[in-house]
Amino acid sequence: MPDQVLFALEVTINGLMAGVLYALVALGFVLIFKASGIFNYAQGVMALFAALTLVGIMEGQVPFEHLINATFGTGIHGFGWQVPAILAIVLTVVVMVIFAWVVNWLVLRHLVGQEPIILFMATIGLAYFLEGLGDMMWGSDIRTLDVGLPQGINTLVDQVTFDAFGYGLFIDNLDISATIIAIVLVAALVAFSQYTKEGRALRAVADDHQAALSVGISLNFIWVLTWSIAGFVALVAGIVWGAKSGVQFSLSLIALKALPVLMLGGFTSIPGAIVGGLIIGVGEKLFEFWVGPLVGGATENWFAYVLALVFLVFRPQGLFGERIIERV
Amino acid sequence: MSMTETHAPSEQQAETEALLDVRNIEVIYNSVILVLKGVSLQVPKGGITALLGGNGAGKTTALKAISNLLKSERGEVTKGQILYRGERVQDLVPSELVKRGVIQVMEGRHCFEHLTIEENLMTGAYTRRDGRARVEEDLDLVYTYFPRLKERRRSQAGYTSGGEQQMCAIGRALMSRPETILLDEPSMGLAPQLVEEIFGIVKDLNEREGVSFLLAEQNTNVALRFAHRGYILESGRIVMDGAAADLRENPDVKEFYLGMSDEGRKSFRDTRSYRRRKRWLS
Ligand SMILES: Nc1ncnc2c1ncn2[C@@H]1O[C@H](COP(=O)(O)OP(=O)(O)OP(=O)(O)O)[C@@H](O)[C@H]1O
Ligand SMILES: [Mg+2]
């Protein structure tokens, strides 16, 4: 096989892996948007916050350490223990559920029936608040996150492809784990929403929340549930991205990567988020690979948006946007 | 307040116990728009009670006040009381009311479009805690009353016909094992024979399953044929009430709501003065 094709294949596979991550972030948006019609600007910051919390707990950091020390003149420096990754993840999930509950209790509950733009504004406020809270609780240093996911080149793929084509494909183990995690997560979400009573209620609320109220579904409960799930998805995204490039402020910017994915896949479609993520991941990498050199590179910053815009013009509801059913 | 003192014998037994007692309620939307101006009505156990009136009279508002769905539309009961089995219920959330046996079928059906018919029905059982087997039993019961829903159980509700959606909405409410159903304009947009069919089922449900109904309708003619009692609502006030049979014979009802006139009062002036008189009376 000619080298060009092999390179392209490698680029495509890496693009797919990146796409999985975009899809993960986009998924968090879709979940909340479907259930409550809110475009949750804070989704990216939630991923950052979740990752920070996870690192903090794993390293036995005392929350609000700086604040406590500054206020009481103490010199606390960590609990002095390490928490195993699994336990830390469980604790972080608990924190995200509490966060969901607090958001609902303090903010969303009071905004029932308001215009979407008002809810959107509320989530912008929330994003900045959460960013500050993350800083205060866990400090603003760049952290490394290692929950034990395998890293580095996958030697098996390398070996097999080398034997077959005389060129070893470079595929990162972390990307493979991310893909597996994403698949499991999506399968779990689908099973939950299709086969459980709460999942059905969640879809009912997404369709018509007045009617959901009328049959006795509690919107508050469903919202806390959705935000908790979105928090969990954010945590997963945070873990994977954090493992890849460290836990730092820029993690919250992955939300910006999710936007074109949503434009492409539709705001209400879980398959859309996944396929959209993959298309953008692959498209971006291939474009950079072929066209990038001709225009001086750095196309990855804008390619996704252009692609999304083109889509928006021809198919405003996105690839998989739910068909709007006309009422008889 | 009652315009008619005589009750047909068949209504007597239905009136022994008032399940739902609405006392002089006032409803305001957005803190400024006064829509119900002192409405009182009773729903007896085991009866079908019709709440009649034209567009914008406040029927939907009254039903939502009872089921507590007003809050999500920024409406509020500012005066009066709503009692269910003698207990004040106006501060409860809708789900609490559903658990106590009061459920609303909203105007315009409001099925969950992307859920299948069967999933729609199952959402009605959301508040129940009496186990899967019981819920399945009731699902079968709903299918025996609405065989058409059984045929379409796997279709997305959004793609079913208006009549099927109305049946789905009623069936969904039934799945909560209600004692009282607040049924808002089931005839809306349906062909006459379908309206007959649905009202027939409502009557069956009332007689065989003992479900009490408060039925909001513009279609006075059909509603009064199936109901035991009726209230007539006009601009947020009850202007008349009585046994359905009496209301049907009442000359004013005949003229203004059934579109018949045997006294020949046709002029606009008469209408006006009649309306004014009725308001003062109420
Ligand atoms: N959410 C709302 N905010 C403000 N005003 C409202 C709202 N809902 C209803 N109204 C007003 O309240 C009045 C009564 O409306 P309602 O829907 O209760 O009437 P209705 O008797 O059910 O009419 P229809 O037969 O057309 O359904 C109308 O004048 C309507 O404009
Ligand atoms: Mg109405």
Q: What percent of chain A has pLDDT over 70?
A: 97
Look up the domain containing A230 and give its range.
3-314
Residue A182 has pLDDT above 80, yes or no: yes
Average pLDDT over residues A231-238: 92
In the sheet that holds B75-84, the strands lie side by side as B33-44, B18-29, B75-84, B87-88
Could you tell me if residue B160 is left (phi over 0), alpha (psi between -120 and 50 degrees) or otherwise beta?
beta
Q: How many domains does chain A have?
A: 1
Per-residue pLDDT, B74 = 86
Per-residue pLDDT, B11 = 43
Could you tell me if residue A73 is left (phi over 0), alpha (psi between -120 and 50 degrees) or otherwise beta?
left
Query: Which domains occur in chain B, in start order?
Result: 9-101+178-281 (3.40.50.300), 109-176 (no CATH)
Q: What percent of chain A has pLDDT over 90?
A: 33
Is the CB of residue B181 below 6 angstroms from any atom belonging to ligand 1? no
List chain B residues with pLDDT less than 70. 1-17, 259-282
Residue indicated by tokens 């390293």: A59
Residue indicated by tokens 């999985």: A20
**Backbone torsions φ then ψ of A317, nearest 5 degrees:** -85, 5
B239/B241 Cα distance (integer angstroms): 7
- B123 lies within 8 A of chain A by CB: yes
- The half-sphere exposure of A69 on its side-chain side, counting CA atoms within 13 A, is 12
Dig out the tokens for A155 from the structure: 């030697």
Residue A326 has pLDDT above 50, yes or no: no
CA of B58 to the centre of ligand 1 (A): 6
Which ipTM was obtained for this model?
A: 0.84
Cα separation values, A28 from A90, A259, A318, Å: 19, 12, 17
Dig out the tokens for B268 from the structure: 């606009």
Residues of B in contact with A327 (CB under 8 A): 108, 158
Quick check: A190 and A274 in contact, CB under 8 A? Answer: no
3-class SS at B183? strand
Q: Considering the domain boundaries, does residue A228 fall inside one?
A: yes
Per-residue pLDDT, B106 = 96
Per-residue pLDDT, A134 = 92
Dig out the tokens for A306 from the structure: 């252009």
Question: Averaging pLDDT over each range in A124-128, A303-307, B16-20, which range is the top one?
Answer: A124-128
Beta-carbon contacts of residue B135 (< 8 Å; ≥ 6 apart): B122, B125, B128, B175
Per-residue pLDDT, B226 = 96
Dig out the tokens for A42 from the structure: 């804070």
Q: Considering the domain boundaries, does residue A129 fall inside one?
A: yes
pTM of structure:
0.83
- B8 lies within 8 A of chain A by CB: no
Q: Considering the domain boundaries, does residue A219 fall inside one?
A: yes
Quick check: B25 and B82 in contact, CB under 8 A? Answer: yes
Q: Do A215 and B176 touch (CB under 8 A)?
A: yes
What does the pLDDT look like over A127-172, one tens digit per residue? 999 999 999 999 888 888 888 888 888 888 888 888 888 888 888 8
Residue indicated by tokens 């240093």: A141
pLDDT band at A317 (very low <50, low <70, confident <90, very high): confident
Q: Which residue numbers of A have CB closer than 8 Å to B's CBs? A: 112-113, 197, 200-201, 203-204, 206-219, 322, 325, 327-328
Is the CB of residue B55 below 6 angstroms from any atom belonging to ligand 1? yes
What does the pLDDT look like over A241-286, one tens digit per residue? 888 888 888 888 777 788 889 888 888 888 888 899 999 999 999 9
CA of B54 to the centre of ligand 2 (A): 9
**DSSP output for A34-85:** HHH----TTHHHHHHHHHHHHHHHHTTPPTTHHHHHHHH-------S----H
Higher pLDDT, A228 or B252: A228
Nearest to A197 among B126, B159, B162 (CB): B126
**Backbone torsions φ then ψ of B41, nearest 5 degrees:** -160, 155
Q: Considering the domain boundaries, does residue A324 fall inside one?
A: no
Q: Considering the domain boundaries, does residue A41 fall inside one?
A: yes
- B114 lies within 8 A of chain A by CB: yes
Residue nearest to atom 18 of ligand 1 (CA): B58
A87/A82 Cα distance (integer angstroms): 10
